[in-house]
Every structure is written in C-alpha cells, then in structure tokens.
Amino acid sequence: MFGNTISMAHKAMDFLWKKQEVIASNIANVDTPGYKNKNVAFEDIYRRRLQAASKTKNSATMRQAIEQADCLQYSWDSSGRVDENNVNADVENTKMARTTLHYQYLLQTVTNDIKRYQSAIKSQ
C-alpha cells in the first residue's frame, strides 16, 4: 500500500540522525586538542543504490537496496590550528541547522503521506 516511499524516508531519517550525532560530537569537541572533525556521507551512496535498483523495476530489489544502504563516516587529519584540532564551529553549526531542517522536512513529508492514506481510508 505504501510502496517504498515511507521506508526510503525512514532510512534517510536514520542517516540524518547519525549525521546530527556526529556533528554534535564535533561541536562538543571544538576546543579539544588533537580532535579531528568527523563527517557522515550517505546521500550519494544512497542515491546510486536507489537508481541502480529502480532500473530493475522490481519492488523487492528496491526494498533490498533501501535496507542495505549504509552511510560512510570519515575524518581527515589536516589542521591549520596550533592545537591540531580541525573543527570549525561556524561550519559545524551551519551543517547542524541544515541537517535539522532536512530531517524536519522528511518527517513532515511522511506525516503528510500518512494523513493522506488515513483520509482515503476514512472516505471509503
């Protein structure tokens, strides 16, 4: 009945939650000497998996691609600071705001989809 829309949004929200956790950790360690900025990437990986699965036109393949999608957590060692910390608080706060808005958008989208289904069911 729902297709893959809700499961895709659910997986994306899981990734965004993980991204928020990593960003919060970066912000919390902005003054920790030697701390290296961590990042989470999932958008490109997720998009490629979904595009490959959509070519098969098989809902089971799409569902499997959604369930098996994963995110990549990485960091880099470059630092321009004396304390070897490479976290920029302004950048991290901007990332947090963007990720939070993206999460809220997906949540609202899923909520609206469910309301439409409820409305259609009640009308019958």
Spans of the chain, pLDDT less than 50: none
pLDDT score for 54: 83
pLDDT score for 122: 87
Tokens 């990485």 appear where?
A: 74
Q: How many other C-beta atoms lie within 10 A of the C-beta of residue 35?
A: 19
Measured N-to-C along each axis, helices 5-28 and 89-123 cross at an angle, to the nearest 10 degrees, of 160
Tokens 């019958």 appear where?
A: 124
pLDDT score for 106: 92
Q: Which residues pair with 74 in a beta bridge?
A: 39
pLDDT score for 2: 58
- Yes or no: say if 68 and 49 are a contact pair by the CB < 8 Å rule: yes
Q: What is the DSSP string of 19-34?
A: HHHHHHHHHHTTTSTT
Please give the Cα distance from 114 to 92 (Å, whole number). Answer: 33
pLDDT score for 118: 87
- Return the percent helix, strand and coil in the chain, to nearest 5: 65, 5, 30
